[in-house]
Amino acid sequence: MADLFDITGKTALVTGGSRGIGLMIARGYVEAGAKVYISSRKAEVCDEVAAELSKVGTCVSIPADLSRDDECERLAAEISGREARLHILVNNAGATWGAPLADYPADAWDKVMTLNAKSPFLLTRALVPMLEAAGTADDPARVINIGSIDAIQVPLLETYAYSSSKAAIHQLTRHLARQLGPRHITVNAVAPGPFESKMMAATLRDFGDSIARSSPLGRIGRPDDMVGIAIYLASRAGAYVTGAVIPVDGGIATTK
């Protein structure tokens, strides 16, 4: 049973791995014995987090601005130059933007859609050879896309590009799962509800109590909740799951 959830010795890349949900996953993977590369736009922060996580395992910083096509390619090339195989890719880097419908900026739409939907596609495509090299029929390589419950239910806040981009990443997950399954690569999405993160900080500050009450489980997400699903999908326990969108939200999006 211990082997079923074991990811010791696997190599992972977590984008947006220096804070929030990405950091939760990166820390969980490092503590579980994986070699973890983290990437984020702010080099100093990325380096500091990698140094901290390296105290308990192996974590390497490769800063990149994934809102740029060339940076997606560069990050993939950097990983390819250091490793022969990549077992786990977590596409977590993302952005949000809220504004009233009449005032929603076109450039904000483009920024959010690019980082949240286009960049995961470009990075995944560039890393397919490394993922294919790592995958086997019994233990495929894994792509884990971070979506959102805002793509399952209509959000209360006016975050039009965010919810649309996350719906796009959910559908991209299904599409890639069909395409990459024969190459021994699974593709799944996690749809988080409210978790403590920089992106959610203002919302939780203003509405945290009411959001917690709206959950059938009566609370917001904790780091271990995210680590649990990330370990499951990356380990042999999740080897026969692909094309799934899994809400991790205490039931908020699926029980109303």
162 catalytic residue (yes or no): yes
Tell me the β-bridge partners of 199: none
Decide: helix, strand or coil at residue 191: strand
Q: What is the DSSP string of 109-130?
A: HHHHHIIIIIHHHHHHHHHHHH
Rounded distance between C-alpha atoms, residue 247 and residue 83, angstroms: 32
Rounded distance between C-alpha atoms, residue 133 and residue 136, angstroms: 8
Decide: helix, strand or coil at residue 220: coil
Q: Name 241's Cβ contacts closer than 8 Å, sequence gap at least 6.
A: 186, 188, 233
Decide: helix, strand or coil at residue 171: helix
User: Where do we find the tokens 């983290």?
Assistant: 38
Q: Which one of 29, 37, 160, 162 is the catalytic residue?
A: 162
Closest CA to 19 of 157, 195, 169: 195
Q: Name 117's Cβ contacts closer than 8 Å, sequence gap at least 6.
A: 165, 168, 169, 172
| Residue 218 backbone zone (phi > 0: left; psi -120 to 50: alpha; other: beta) | left
What positions carry a catalytic annotation?
A: 162
